[in-house]
């Protein structure tokens, strides 16, 4: 039998009466301090037994301080009336004490806490059962915490030097040096950071390593908050593990620091987390910069740089989400709960003034309303963007292993993340329906219903939507020439660099071939001698025919060798840009006949080749317009269809993934070539993205009819 239940049944009245007969008193270890919120003085109080912070108005706190556990309500009322000059009754003091008791403010001995825990255990179990879907809220999944305060006290006694001026100066110097290394190597660090966070080419081992290192980083981050709180005299009673949008995170209870510290000290406590990550980034930057490439230490340091540094600053100090930047904003402005209050204000204002619902708008000072509205809209948009990126993040990971089914976990995670938002939307729609139902039904008279149906039918019949077909592409030059060596030789001079524009016929390189040049000089001397003999024969009329034939043969030989000699100067057949990398590396190399030397491409116009399914080919024309969206670039570029293949081709499996089911008959694909202008040089060969080819404008009714017609013709007829 459950012993707790036996005690609860056998002795239900004694503990409750015992607690009720005692007068409330303050926690002996209480900490409090006066602060300013919204420009008004308030008293922040930290209660150790409740591990919570409470905020009082000065008069209320003065009354709460009179509760010592021995004074009766009547005595406290008389004493408080003498101090303030206003008359208070014992019943009013009792109501004040009962209100604080409801929020568990008063001190309780360990025995009293155990009795209350026993009495509340059944209710707590019911609450936990009601909260069984808390795991579906991926924004904040909490795990049990532990008390790190004893360890922090001991650790701080050995490491006080961290907050000395000399160590702070040393840290700033390290930040400056690491920043200089980052700026000088930004071309590779910036590119690699983007590739690191898109998770297109990551294995399960890469993801596991990422989570392990990220786990270590967030431990250091939260430990820095706790350490700084201890430095300013605050106790840290709880530290635990959480998942914030599936990302590992530690959380630290620095509530007492909110009470005992000044505003400047609270800012230091908040900044300490990112500051510690920047220290890790500085050390990792020096290691990465000073170690040999492709070593374990070099790659590990580079991995750590990607997780900390500027990405950590942008993420944690962004005030639009409830991370370090948000708490910096609340401390600087002195306005607590900005996100909740602004969201509640904007939501209620829209419901009342836009949807005309019977709701009360929370009062907000007039000078603050515009900023509340702006913050609520921007922070809401940012939060939903982060949620969307998280869903895409999961999809990108799965697509590395199964491109065909990557959308399933992406949609599943999106539904889990937005579950609470969907519920709010459904509840709002129910409220709106119940509020407007009678008026809407009364408004739809037969005449108005007929007019509304006519408007809807007209809308469906208007050609408002333009048909389009999309596909992935890889940009390549519309015209390019591969320059090859027509004769063998050694490269003695290069007259063009990578990225340099050259004109048609310009010399790109000079080769040296001593045997060929010797033959050329020999052929010239033979031609000279044959010409002299022919002239002498014409004067003496002796062997003239033989001399003329010899001169003709020598001339033909010289012409042939001259053509090969002139080929030692390699020229470009088209005007364009040299796209061969590291051109100067070819200097001094020996080229055989036909070996590739350089590639020149006309980059003023590029070709995008996409695959179109046979089911969508009828939607586009040969002269159709298109738009290109290049990955990693803002905006779109206009393009034009210039060619459509007459026969189907095999599509690249990387674009559609492997077909796992052998019984499936994939459609045939046709290549469609697009030409896009790149006169400004913004587009480069090798860029990828999505192209959308536009067809005719169609109405919704026309599209529905076309779909039904295609189904009939393909499947039924």
SS3 content of the chain, % helix, strand, coil (to 5): 55, 20, 25
Chosen domain end from 558, 591, 624: 591
pLDDT tens, 135-151?
Answer: 445 555 666 778 888 88
Per DSSP, 401 falls in state: T
Same domain for 127 and 215: no
20 and 76 both lie in a single domain: yes
Please tell me whether residues 163 and 307 are part of one structural domain: yes
Kindly report, residue by residue over 482-534, the tens digit of the pLDDT: 888 888 888 888 888 887 888 888 888 888 877 777 777 777 777 777 776 77
Q: Name which of 45-49, 515-519, 573-577, 645-649 the model is least confident about.
A: 515-519
- pLDDT of 203: 62
- Stretch 607-634: mean pLDDT, rounded? 81
* DSSP structure string for 22-83: SPPB--TT-EEEEEEETTEEEEEEEETTTTEEEEE-HHHHHHHTT-BSSS-HHHHHHHHHHH
685 vs 579: CA distance, rounded Å? 9
The band of 170, judged by pLDDT with boundaries at 50, 70 and 90, is: very high
For 475, other C-beta atoms within 10 Å of its C-beta total 24
Model confidence pLDDT, tens digit, residues 523-556: 777 777 777 677 777 776 666 677 677 777 777 7
Indicate whether 243 and 330 sit together in one domain: yes
Among 328-342, 386-400, 484-498, 633-647, name the one with the lowest average pLDDT: 386-400
Cα distance between residue 138 and residue 528, in whole Å: 92
pLDDT exceeds 70 at position 47: yes
pLDDT of 661 over the 90 cut: no
Asked if residue 522 is part of any domain, the answer here is yes
Phi then psi dihedrals of residue 484, to 5 deg: -120, 160
Mean model confidence pLDDT for the chain? 79
Instruction: Return the pLDDT at 125.
Output: 47
User: Does 349 fall in a domain?
Assistant: no
Domain membership flag for residue 376: no
27 in any annotated domain: yes
Answer yes or no: is 73 within a domain: yes
Residue 172 has pLDDT above 90, yes or no: yes
- Same domain? 568 vs 645: no
CATH number at residue 706: 2.40.30.170
Which of 310, 334, 358 is the C-terminal boundary of a domain? 334
Three-class SS state of 363: coil
Q: Is residue 400 part of a domain?
A: no
Q: Choose from 238-242, 363-367, 465-469 the range with maximum mean pLDDT.
A: 363-367
Same domain, yes or no: 174 and 320: yes
Whole-angstrom distance, CA of residue 418 vs CA of residue 387? 8
Q: Which of 206-210, 411-415, 602-606 has the highest mean pLDDT?
A: 602-606
**Is 82 in the same domain as 141?**
no
- Position 17 pLDDT exceeds 70: no
Same domain for 201 and 142: yes
Specify the higher pLDDT residue, 568 or 68.
68
> What tokens appear for 654 in the block?
């990387």
- Residue 173: pLDDT over 90: yes
Tell me whether residue 383 is in a domain.
no
Domain identity same for 621 and 587: no
- The residue segments making up the domain with residue 190 are 134-334
The answer on pLDDT for 128 being more than 60 is no
Count Cβ atoms within 10 A of the Cβ of residue 288 and give its class: 0-12 exposed, 13-18 middle, 19 or more buried: buried
How much is the average pLDDT of 594-607?
85
Closest CA to 23 of 119, 80, 106, 110: 106
Reported pTM: 0.60
- How many domains, the chain? 4
pLDDT in tens, 257-300: 888 888 888 889 989 989 999 999 999 999 988 888 878 888 88
Q: 415 vs 418, 425, 492, 527, 601, CA distance in Å?
A: 5, 13, 65, 87, 48
pLDDT reading at 374 higher than 90:
yes
- 660: pLDDT confidence band, cut at 50, 70 and 90? very low
Q: Give the domain-ending residue among 109, 132, 155.
A: 132
Share of the chain above pLDDT 70, in %: 83
Amino acid 541: pLDDT: 64
By the 10 Å C-beta count (0-12 exposed, 13-18 middle, 19+ buried), 8 is classed as: middle
Q: pLDDT class for 318, splitting at 50, 70, 90?
A: confident
Q: 567 pLDDT exceeds 60?
A: yes
- Asked if the model's pLDDT at residue 632 lies above 80, the reply is no
pLDDT band at 186 (very low <50, low <70, confident <90, very high): confident
Do 606 and 529 lie in one domain? The reply is no
Q: Residue 68: which residues within 8 A CB-CB, separation 6 or more?
A: 25, 26
Residue 193: is its pLDDT beyond 80?
Answer: no
**713 has pLDDT over 80:** no
Both tokens of 419, joined, read: 């579950």
Q: What confidence tier does 83 reach under pLDDT thresholds 50, 70, 90? A: confident
pLDDT-based confidence at residue 131 (cuts at 50, 70, 90): very low
Question: Residue 434: pLDDT above 70?
Answer: yes
Residue 198 confidence class, pLDDT cut points 50, 70, 90: low
Residues 318 and 220 in one domain: yes
User: What is the pLDDT at residue 611?
Assistant: 84
Any domain includes 490: yes
621 and 571 housed in the same domain:
no
Give the pLDDT confidence of 242-261 residue by residue, as tens digits.
766 556 667 788 888 888 88
Question: Of 552, 518, 556, whose CA–CA distance to 533 is shortest?
Answer: 552
């Amino acid at each position: 039998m459950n012993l707790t239940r036996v005690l609860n049944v056998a002795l239900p009245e004694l503990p409750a009466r015992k607690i009720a007969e005692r007068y409330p008193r303050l926690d002996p270890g209480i900490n409090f301090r006066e602060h300013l919120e919204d420009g008004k003085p308030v008293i922040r109080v930290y209660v150790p037994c409740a591990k919570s912070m409470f905020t009082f108005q000065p008069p209320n706190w003065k009354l709460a301080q009179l509760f010592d556990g021995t004074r009766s309500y009547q005595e406290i009322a008389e004493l408080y009336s003498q101090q303030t000059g206003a008359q208070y009754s014992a019943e009013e003091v009792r109501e004040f004490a009962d209100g604080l008791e409801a929020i568990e403010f008063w001190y309780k001995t360990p025995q009293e806490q155990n009795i209350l825990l026993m009495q509340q255990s059944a209710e707590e179990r019911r609450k936990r059962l009601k909260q069984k879907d808390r795991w579906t809220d991926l924004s904040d999944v909490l795990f049990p915490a532990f008390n790190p305060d004893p360890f922090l006290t001991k650790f701080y006694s050995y490491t006080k030097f961290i907050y000395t001026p000399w160590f702070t100066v040393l840290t700033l110097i390290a930040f400056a040096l690491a920043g200089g290394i980052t700026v000088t190597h930004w071309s590779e660090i910036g590119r690699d950071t983007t590739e690191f966070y898109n998770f297109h080419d990551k294995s399960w081992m890469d993801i596991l390593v990422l989570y392990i290192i990220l786990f270590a980083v967030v431990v250091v981050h939260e430990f820095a908050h706790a350490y700084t709180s201890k430095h300013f005299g605050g106790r840290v009673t709880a530290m635990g593990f959480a998942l914030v949008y599936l990302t590992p995170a530690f959380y630290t209870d620095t509530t007492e620091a909110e009470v005992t510290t000044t505003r400047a000290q609270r800012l230091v406590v908040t900044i300490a987390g990112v500051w510690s990550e920047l220290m890790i980034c500085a050390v990792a930057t020096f290691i990465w910069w000073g170690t040999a490439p492709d070593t374990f230490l070099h790659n590990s340091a580079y991995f750590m740089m990607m997780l900390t540094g500027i990405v950590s600053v942008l993420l944690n100090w962004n005030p639009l989400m409830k991370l370090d930047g948000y708490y910096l904003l609340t401390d600087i402005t002195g306005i607590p709960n900005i996100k909740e209050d602004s969201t509640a204000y904007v939501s209620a204002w829209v419901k009342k003034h836009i949807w005309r619902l019977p709701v009360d708008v929370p009062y907000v000072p007039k000078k603050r309303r515009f900023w509340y509205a702006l913050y609520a809209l921007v922070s809401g948009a940012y939060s939903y963007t982060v949620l969307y990126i998280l869903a895409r993040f999961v999809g990108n990971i799965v697509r590395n292993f199964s491109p065909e089914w990557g959308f399933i976990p992406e949609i599943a995670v999106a539904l889990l993340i937005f579950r609470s938002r969907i519920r709010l939307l459904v509840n709002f729609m129910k409220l709106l329906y119940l509020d407007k139902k009678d008026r809407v039904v009364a408004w739809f008279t037969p005449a108005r219903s007929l007019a509304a149906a006519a408007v809807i039918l007209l809308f469906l019949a208007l050609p408002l939507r333009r048909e389009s077909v999309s596909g992935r592409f890889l940009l390549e030059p519309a015209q390019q020439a591969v320059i090859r060596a027509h004769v063998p030789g050694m490269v003695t001079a290069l007259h063009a660099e990578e990225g340099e524009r050259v004109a048609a016929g310009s010399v790109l390189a000079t080769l040296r071939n001593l045997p060929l040049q010797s033959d050329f000089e020999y052929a010239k001397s033979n031609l000279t001698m044959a010409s002299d003999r022919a002239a002498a024969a014409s004067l003496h009329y002796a062997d003239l025919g033989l001399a003329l034939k010899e001169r003709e043969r020598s001339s033909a030989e010289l012409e042939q060798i001259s053509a090969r000699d002139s080929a030692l100067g390699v020229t470009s057949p088209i005007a364009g840009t040299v796209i061969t990398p590291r051109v100067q590396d070819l200097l001094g190399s020996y080229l055989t006949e036909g070996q590739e030397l350089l590639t020149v491409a006309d980059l003023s116009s590029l070709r995008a080749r996409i695959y179109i399914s046979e089911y969508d080919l009828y939607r586009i024309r040969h002269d159709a317009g298109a738009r290109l969206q290049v990955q990693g670039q803002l905006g779109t570029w206009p393009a034009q269809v210039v060619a459509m293949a007459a026969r189907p081709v095999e599509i690249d499996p990387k674009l559609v993934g492997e077909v796992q089911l052998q019984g499936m008959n994939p459609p045939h694909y046709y290549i469609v070539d697009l030409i896009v202008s790149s006169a400004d040089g913004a587009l480069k060969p090798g860029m990828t993205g999505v192209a959308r080819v536009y067809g005719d404008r169609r109405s919704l009714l026309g599209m529905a009819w076309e779909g039904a017609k295609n189904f009939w013709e393909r499947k039924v007829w």
